[in-house]
Amino acid sequence: MREFFRSPVRILPLGFLGVIALGTVLLMLPAATESGEAPPFLTALFTSTSAVCVTGLVVVDTPAYWSSFGEGVIAMLIQVGGFGIMTFASLMGFLVLGRLRLRNTLAAQAETKTMQLGDVRRVLASVGLITLAIESAVAAILTVRFATTYGYETDHALWHGVFHSISAFNNAGFALYDDSLEGFATDGVVTLPISAAIVIGGIGFAVIAEILQHRRRPRKWSIHTKITVAGTGILLAVGFFFYLVLEWNNTLAGFDMGEKVLTSFVSSVMPRTAGFNVLPMGDLETQTWAVTDVLMFIGGGSGGTAGGIKVTTFFLLAFVIWSELRGEPDVPAFRRTIHPQVVRQATTVTLLGFGLVAIGTFTLLSATSHSLDEVLFEAISAFGTVGLSTGITDDLGPVGEVMVTIMMYLGRVGTITVGAALALRVRPRRYRFPNERPIVG
């Protein structure tokens, strides 16, 4: 039993369950609601899971339903969840890459025998410092803007600035407004710092650290950093283009040219990973929902606070397809050859993601009366821990809420756990079967 709890690939799922349970208990306190009455268990569990898994889906109106204490609990859960994701994923990445050396100091030695306590402390300290610096900077900008432009009282402006900076950097998508950030759609002083925090938090600590270390020498970036940065840029450009074109005469119709460009760019950042929205999601074109589905499924960078199958996973498979179409025996990328084991891992994570979304979509279709495009959007948002909704989350019913809760949890810890387990548990065979070539296609 002790060995079971010492396994590094089990620490994150078990830790998240513990924090979710604690958050559920705290949110069930009468002091957590505006009414002073204890919320239903399922409401508290759903909200706690959404906060810890930095998703942002809600079944009740956050500012209207939860008290200041309840909002504080949600912010704490977001911070703990996001910090845990970044540190665990970073440590697992270092373990896989063999960058942590000495033995017999942490539980991870049970499977890797490679981690030193000092390395872990440095990772924790670095992640904490970067988190504090970015969240403080964004909170300061938002606080000043809320106080000077919107007339908020100082304490009110400070709380809104801190809450939304935490939610943004951790890609959680919780907002203290019933329409998310739609009221600030044309205010770049609010939306651009939040967008920057989302992108930085979403690309992952390892990428941030490497960019800072080699900021003047991108050629020295690892292939992981290159794929993450390039892939993130491509996805932002794709999202910007489709939001601008598809919504030009729809939700963007009342904006001038500059406002359309700003809102489209912000929309390409927020709905992909964070769950904030500056446009009414229920009013978007069906084609825009489809584009958003793809972006949410891909998600952010490995080791970041965003969900999805990850940018590196998606673009690794794109390299595989390109190499196969060209008839190349290997998979080259940025003057490097991708290891076949990594290709299998990317394929496994993607197919498991498809499977989970399919199961969730089928369950929601069976448990609700909503259309396929609506429940598919909800399922992908839950799996990708994005938090966007077409407006059906509070109408899912008990079965639907439980299904979405499970999907948020598995979508958050599943990709990291599966990725780490596949990378750390390599079992070479001492024999090989004869080769055979089945017909494909």
Q: Is the pTM of this model over 0.85?
A: yes
Domain count, the chain: 1
Q: What is the pLDDT of residues 122-175, one digit of tens each?
A: 777 778 888 899 999 999 999 999 999 999 999 999 999 999 999 999 888 899
Q: Is 50 exceeded by the pLDDT of residue 315?
A: yes
Predicted local confidence at residue 75, as pLDDT = 94
Q: What is the pLDDT of residues 429-439, one digit of tens each?
A: 677 778 777 77
The answer to whether residue 432 is domain-embedded is: no
Q: What is the pLDDT of residues 258-290, one digit of tens each?
A: 999 999 999 999 878 888 999 999 899 999 999
Are 61 and 70 within 8 A, CB to CB?
no
Predicted local confidence at residue 205, as pLDDT = 79
Predicted local confidence at residue 94, as pLDDT = 56
Q: What angle do CA 406, 374, 384 make, to 5 degrees?
A: 40
Q: Which domain holds residue 176?
A: 2-424
The answer to whether residue 359 is domain-embedded is: yes
Q: Is 50 exceeded by the pLDDT of residue 380?
A: yes
> How many angstroms separate the first and last alpha carbons of the chain?
46
Q: For residues 142 and 232, what is the distance between their CA atoms, to the nearest angstrom?
A: 25
Averaged pLDDT for residues 229-251:
95
The answer to whether residue 437 is domain-embedded is: no
The answer to whether residue 413 is domain-embedded is: yes
Q: For residues 330 and 382, what is the distance between their CA atoms, to the nearest angstrom?
A: 35
Q: Which of 169-173, 242-246, 416-420 has the lowest mean pLDDT?
A: 416-420
Q: Is 90 exceeded by the pLDDT of residue 361?
A: yes
Task: Please state, rounded to an integer, the average pLDDT across all residues of the chain.
Answer: 85
| Angular region, 397: left φ>0, alpha ψ -120 to 50, beta rest | left
Name the pLDDT band for 108 (thresholds 50, 70, 90): very low
Q: Is 50 exceeded by the pLDDT of residue 201?
A: yes
Q: For residues 272 and 343, what is the distance between their CA atoms, to the nearest angstrom?
A: 24
Structure tokens of 289? 């929902």
The answer to whether residue 441 is domain-embedded is: no
Averaged pLDDT for residues 314-320:
93
Q: Taking Cα atoms as reference points, which of 202, 193, 206 lies closest to residue 172?
A: 202
Query: 10 to each of 14, 17, 111, how far by Cα in Å?
Result: 6, 11, 12
Q: Is 60 exceeded by the pLDDT of residue 105?
A: no
Most confident region among 88-92, 299-303, 404-408 by mean pLDDT: 404-408
The answer to whether residue 386 is domain-embedded is: yes
Name the pLDDT band for 114 (thresholds 50, 70, 90): very low
Structure tokens of 427? 């079992």
Q: What is the pLDDT of residues 19-74, one digit of tens each?
A: 899 999 999 999 999 999 999 999 999 999 999 988 889 999 999 999 999 999 99
Averaged pLDDT for residues 233-253:
95
The answer to whether residue 398 is domain-embedded is: yes
The answer to whether residue 358 is domain-embedded is: yes
Structure tokens of 57? 């889906």
